């Protein structure tokens, strides 16, 4: 081929080629690929398999062995669906092997599977066969449809890709194989050669074909290792750069906590701090003494005393003449923080400003004026504090809840006269270490594991339906002794799709049934702030004895006299959420009792609930919840703005995450701006993938 021909081929095979112009796609299939988020040749190259089919064990039907995972290729001779009642039907498909012999595939209670078959269709079935009379049979084998002209796939490991309606596996494989052949050599390696060698990583152009069409399992693992490491490393690089930038360029007020200030603050606390609280306070005090903005995550178990640690930090700021802000995720919790501060600071000269809903126009104007001229030292509110109308006299510390998306724009709203305040982020429940490194990798971490002395235990029971009346007998007795009870249900309205107990149904059943002699209230997320506040005030005062609620009480609500909790359809809550709910009771001097009722017989769901009742350790439950539900659902990775991982899995790739974090921190320590020529491609990929979400626009 002439040089002219080579350059034309290179131009035609551009990595930005729209999918419509890729071989095997065209205008009819392009919308299907775009539905999967694939718009260019590069997108297709990095559309990794979600699974693999092992066809190295491809067999002729006459050569099958019982109960070993094997694969056969054949043609559909006939198929029949017997029975049409849901839960009582069976689909039988007779396959004639391409080398002779017959086998039957059986699918029980999956009538939708018949759409995959018609007479004469070539298919591949993978499963464990067994002999039944004249025929071999496979129950629920994996089905792969083969094109009429598709090559014999035997002896290979086949990729299984995500699909959309109208797109077949064999078509997807053919498209990706074609794009690989034409485009893989155009890709730039992001890692320097010596880096690949030092970390035992395969080069990009070797790894990419092998992750799509592995020669063998060890090659697939080596290729996957390269992309898992790269994906986690690029994220950790972005977090490390952001962390370093804050350290180098942030200018915060230095507030050293002297022995005198420490003694004055601690006199305000009516109890001895735990060892963990003292350690966290020492870490926070050391941060606030520096002229670099503190960026610290404070996490701890339910009832471990996070709020007191935050109050200490706020009072340290006030002692130096600065204002401190406490941002709560809900109005209910904001009001509770105000009550806590008023109780702790009664008789002191510290002035509290509450910027919360329900204020009259004149009252709100008064609070804003006191914040602006410095007559409010501690300001409590929700994210409304970030509005343009709020001006601070001298802001030194911001305490925020991790549910807030808090980035550069929000920080800019709180920036004062060229200085940044210190930031302390609190989480409601413990976070697994891998999630902490992923979502909060640019923060330092303080952890509270101990509970304050005197905190009573909560006894938790997984109750059977026939024990319900016995439980209500116990509840009535405790209510008669003056205690209070939560009844938690997962949904506001019943739907046909979800057989969970609805809020209204639960409320009506209680007031007309086992608790008709008691004062029962109702609260849920759809009520206005004023309505919720009124109900909570009545519950706190004891006017309401039983509160029927959704998980709106999950975060931070503190009613010391509430010692009883009933959780309906408990399988619909995550373990961390159940633990947070349970933390609402036994916050005073009486022990707590929590009964969970399951709305399902599912073994998996019941096993999860048994793990919940077996421990009160929130860190243990957070890890269990993480392993069962994964990070995305557990912490809403998307709500934190992070794009989903393409290949990495935080459950199985913890070791890679630790390694990637260490390496990223070391690289940024050596080259803070990633400005060296050998790091230019890494910087470009980091900015492309995470520059917007991590707000790294000014890097490099």
Together in a domain, 172 and 31 = yes
Q: What is the CATH number of the domain that holds 140?
A: 2.40.50.140
* Residue 400 and residue 282 share a domain: yes
Residues 552 and 475 reside in one and the same domain = yes
Burial-class residue 312 by CB neighbours within 10 Å (0-12, 13-18, 19+). buried
pLDDT in tens, 641-695: 566 788 998 888 888 999 999 999 999 999 988 899 999 999 999 998 887 767 6
Q: How many CB atoms lie within 10 A of CB 1?
A: 8
Domain assignment of residue 287, yes or no = yes
**Nearest in space to 180 (alpha carbons), one of 205, 201, 163:** 205
Q: Are residues 263 and 320 in the same domain?
A: yes
Question: pLDDT tens across 350-366, in order?
Answer: 999 999 877 888 999 99
- Whether 638 is covered by a domain: the verdict is no
Is 408 a member of any domain?
yes
| Residue 541 sits in the same domain as residue 436 | no
CATH code for the domain in which residue 392 is found: 3.40.50.300
Strands 51-54 and 157-160: antiparallel
Asked if residue 407 has pLDDT above 60, the reply is: no
Query: Does residue 643 lie within any of the structural domains?
Result: no
Cβ atoms within 10 A of the Cβ of 492, count?
13
533 shares its domain with 578: yes
Domain that holds residue 474: 458-615
500 shares a domain with 364? no
Is residue 298 situated within a structural domain? yes
Give the count of beta carbons closer than 10 Å to the beta carbon of residue 459: 13
- What is the number of domains present in the chain? 5
Q: Are residues 193 and 173 in the same domain?
A: no
Examine the fold and report which residue of 594, 615, 636 is the final residue of a domain before the chain moves on: 615
Q: Are residues 432 and 340 in the same domain?
A: yes
Q: How far apart are CA 310 and CA 284, in angstroms?
A: 9
Under a CB-based contact definition with an 8 Å cutoff, are residues 420 and 251 in contact?
Answer: yes
Q: How far apart are CA 565 and CA 580, in angstroms?
A: 12
- 655 falls within a domain: no
Q: Rounded to an integer, what distance in angstroms lies between the CA atom of residue 128 and that of residue 412?
A: 61
Looking at the domain assignment, is residue 641 inside a domain?
Answer: no
**Alpha-carbon dihedral 537, 543, 548, 552, rounded to 10 degrees:** 10
Q: 602-635: buried (b, 16+ CB within 10 Å) or exposed (e) per residue?
A: eeeeeebbeebbeebebbbbbbbbbebbebeebb
Q: How far apart are CA 104 and CA 360, in angstroms?
A: 75
Residues 589, 485, single domain; the answer is yes
The answer to whether 397 touches 313, Cβ cutoff 8 Å, is yes
> 483 and 607: one domain?
yes
pLDDT band at 153 (very low <50, low <70, confident <90, very high): low
The four Cα atoms 574, 575, 581, 583 give a dihedral, to 10 degrees, of: -160
Q: Is 0.85 topped by the overall pTM? A: no
Q: Are residues 443 and 465 in the same domain?
A: no
Domain boundary among 405, 427, 448: 448
Q: Measure the CA–CA gap between 274 and 644, rounded to whole angstroms.
A: 39
Is residue 632 a part of any domain in this protein?
no
What does the pLDDT read at residue 45? 95
Q: Which is it for strands 122-127 and 142-146: parallel, antiparallel or unpaired?
A: antiparallel
Question: Is the CB of residue 75 less than 8 Å from the CB of residue 147?
Answer: no
Kindly state the tokens that stand for 232: 């986690």
The counts of H helices and E strands in the chain are 22, 22
Tell which of 584, 615, 646 closes a domain: 615
pLDDT digits (tens, 9 = 90+) for 79-108: 988 876 656 788 899 999 888 889 999 988
């Amino acid at each position: 081929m002439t040089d002219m021909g080579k350059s034309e081929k290179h131009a035609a095979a551009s990595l930005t080629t729209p999918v419509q112009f890729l071989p095997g796609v065209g205008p009819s299939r392009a919308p299907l690929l775009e539905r999967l988020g694939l718009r260019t040749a590069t997108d297709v190259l990095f559309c990794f398999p979600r699974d693999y089919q092992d066809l190295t064990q491809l067999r002729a039907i006459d050569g099958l062995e019982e109960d070993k995972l094997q694969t056969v290729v054949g043609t559909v001779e006939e198929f029949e669906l017997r029975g049409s009642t849901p839960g009582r039907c069976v689909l039988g498909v007779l396959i004639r092997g391409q080398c002779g012999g017959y086998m039957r595939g059986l699918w029980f209670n999956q009538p939708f599977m018949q759409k995959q078959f018609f007479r004469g269709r070539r298919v591949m079935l993978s499963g464990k066969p067994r002999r039944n009379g004249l025929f071999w049979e496979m129950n629920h084998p994996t089905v792969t449809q083969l094109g009429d002209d598709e090559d014999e796939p035997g002896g290979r490991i086949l990729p299984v890709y995500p699909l959309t309606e109208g797109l077949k596996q064999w078509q997807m494989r053919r498209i990706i194989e074609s794009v690989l052949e034409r485009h893989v050599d155009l890709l730039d390696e992001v890692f320097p050669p010596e880096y690949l060698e030092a970390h035992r990583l395969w080069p990009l152009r070797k790894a990419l074909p092998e992750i799509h069409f592995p020669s063998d399992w060890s090659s697939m693992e080596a290729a996957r290792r390269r992309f898992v490491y790269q994906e986690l490393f690029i994220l950790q690089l972005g977090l490390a750069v952001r962390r370093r930038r804050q350290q180098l360029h942030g200018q915060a007020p230095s507030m050293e906590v002297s022995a005198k200030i420490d003694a004055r603050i601690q006199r305000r606390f009516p109890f001895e701090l735990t060892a963990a609280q003292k350690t966290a306070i020492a870490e926070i005090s050391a941060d606030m003494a520096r002229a670099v903005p503190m960026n610290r995550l404070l996490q701890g178990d339910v009832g471990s005393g996070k709020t007191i640690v935050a109050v200490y930090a706020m009072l340290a700021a006030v002692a130096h003449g600065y204002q401190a802000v406490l941002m709560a995720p809900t109005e209910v919790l904001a009001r509770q923080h105000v009550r806590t501060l008023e109780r702790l600071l009664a008789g002191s000269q510290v002035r509290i400003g509450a910027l919360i809903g329900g204020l009259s126009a004149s009252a709100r104007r008064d609070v804003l004026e006191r914040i602006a001229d410095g007559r409010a030292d501690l300001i409590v509110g929700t994210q409304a504090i970030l509005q343009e109308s709020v001006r601070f006299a001298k802001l030194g510390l911001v305490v925020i809840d991790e549910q807030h998306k808090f980035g550069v724009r929000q920080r800019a709203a709180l920036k004062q006269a060229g200085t940044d305040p210190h930031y302390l982020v609190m989480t409601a429940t413990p976070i697994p270490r891998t999630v902490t490194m992923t979502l909060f990798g640019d923060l330092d971490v303080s952890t509270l594991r101990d509970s304050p002395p005197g905190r009573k235990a909560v006894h938790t029971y997984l109750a059977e339906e026939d024990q319900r009346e016995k439980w209500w007998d116990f509840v009535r007795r405790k209510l008669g002794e003056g205690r209070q009870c939560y009844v938690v249900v997962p949904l506001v309205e019943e739907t046909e799709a979800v057989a969970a107990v609805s809020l209204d149904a639960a409320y009506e059943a209680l007031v007309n049934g086992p608790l008709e002699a008691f004062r029962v209230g109702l609260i849920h997320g759809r009520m206005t702030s004023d309505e919720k506040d009124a109900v909570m005030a009545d519950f706190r005062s004891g006017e309401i004895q039983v509160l029927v609620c959704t998980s709106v009480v999950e975060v931070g609500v503190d009613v010391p006299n509430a010692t009883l909790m009933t959780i309906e359809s408990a399988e619909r809550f995550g373990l961390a959420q159940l633990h947070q709910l349970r933390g609402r009771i036994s916050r005073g001097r009486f022990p707590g009792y929590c009964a969970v009722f399951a709305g399902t017989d599912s073994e998996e769901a019941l096993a999860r609930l048994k793990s919940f009742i077996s421990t009160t350790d929130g860190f243990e439950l957070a890890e269990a919840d993480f392993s069962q539900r994964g990070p995305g659902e557990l912490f809403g990775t998307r709500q934190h703005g992070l794009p989903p991982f393409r290949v990495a899995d935080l459950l199985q790739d913890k070791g890679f995450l630790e390694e990637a974090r260490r390496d990223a921190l070391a690289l940024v320590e050596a080259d803070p701006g990633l400005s060296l020529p050998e790091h230019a491609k890494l910087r470009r990929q980091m900015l492309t993938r995470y520059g917007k979400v991590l707000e790294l626009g000014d890097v490099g």
